[in-house]
């Protein structure tokens, strides 16, 4: 809406999917096999190494990357039906997002787009608030278990586990 563009989203059918990203995941999995990983940051390094000729771009995301869109949803649901035996979300094969905020759907790739039967709510496209104000704490039990694992983790990695926020 902000850029006044139309976006078409096609949903692949279960069992009939093959995406370029599948080869990325496979390459990364091959690099991870038989390696000791002690820190989340090691996954980023390994992901970059997974393709030697042209390394993958890896972006570190922190808690402050995420925005809270919950208050700005124009639709409560994208379910195309209203009652039992009507189409459900998993029946949708394509969505078309119009610049005005309307959403259209297809149940088959060969169908024409149909407007969702839900009425959109007026919403602002103003900047959204951050979803998190600080790092998300883990439970005390999980933190304790991670502390126990430090016996088998190199000591130069201990500070990461010590610094995890916990309740």
Percent pLDDT > 90 in the chain is: 66
- Scanning the chain, the segments in alpha helix (DSSP H) are 20-32, 40-49, 140-149, 158-162
Domain extents in the chain: 137-167
Mean pLDDT of the chain: 90
Give the integer Cα–Cα distance in Å for 163 and 167: 12
**What would the mean pLDDT of 111-123 be, rounded to a whole number?**
85
DSSP letters of 75-130? -S---S-SSTTS--GGG--EEEE-TTS-EEEESSTTSPPEE-SSPPPP---SPPPB
The whole-model pTM stands at 0.67
Res. 20: pLDDT tops 90: no
Tokens of 109: 């790739």
pLDDT per residue as tens digits for the range 27-49:
999 999 989 999 999 999 999 98
pLDDT per residue as tens digits for the range 54-72:
889 999 899 999 999 887 7
pLDDT at 21: 77
Measured at the alpha carbon of residue 99, what is the angle toward residues 98 and 100, in degrees to the nearest 5? 90
């Amino acid at each position: 809406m902000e850029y006044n563009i139309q976006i078409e989203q096609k949903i692949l059918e279960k069992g009939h999917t093959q995406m370029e990203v599948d080869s990325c995941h496979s390459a990364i999995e091959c690099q991870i096999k038989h390696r000791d990983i002690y820190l989340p940051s090691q996954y980023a390094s390994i992901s970059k190494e997974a393709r030697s000729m042209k390394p993958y771009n890896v972006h570190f995301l922190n808690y402050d990357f995420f925005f809270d869109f919950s208050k700005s949803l124009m639709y409560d649901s994208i379910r195309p039906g209203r009652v039992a035996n009507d189409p459900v979300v998993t029946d949708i094969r394509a969505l078309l997002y119009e610049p005005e905020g309307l959403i259209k759907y297809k149940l088959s790739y060969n169908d024409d787009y149909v407007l969702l039967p839900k009425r959109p709510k007026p919403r602002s496209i103003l900047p959204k608030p951050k979803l998190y104000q600080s790092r998300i704490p883990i439970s005390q039990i999980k933190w304790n278990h991670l502390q126990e694992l430090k016996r088998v983790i190199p000591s130069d990695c201990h500070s990461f586990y010590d610094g995890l926020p916990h309740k």
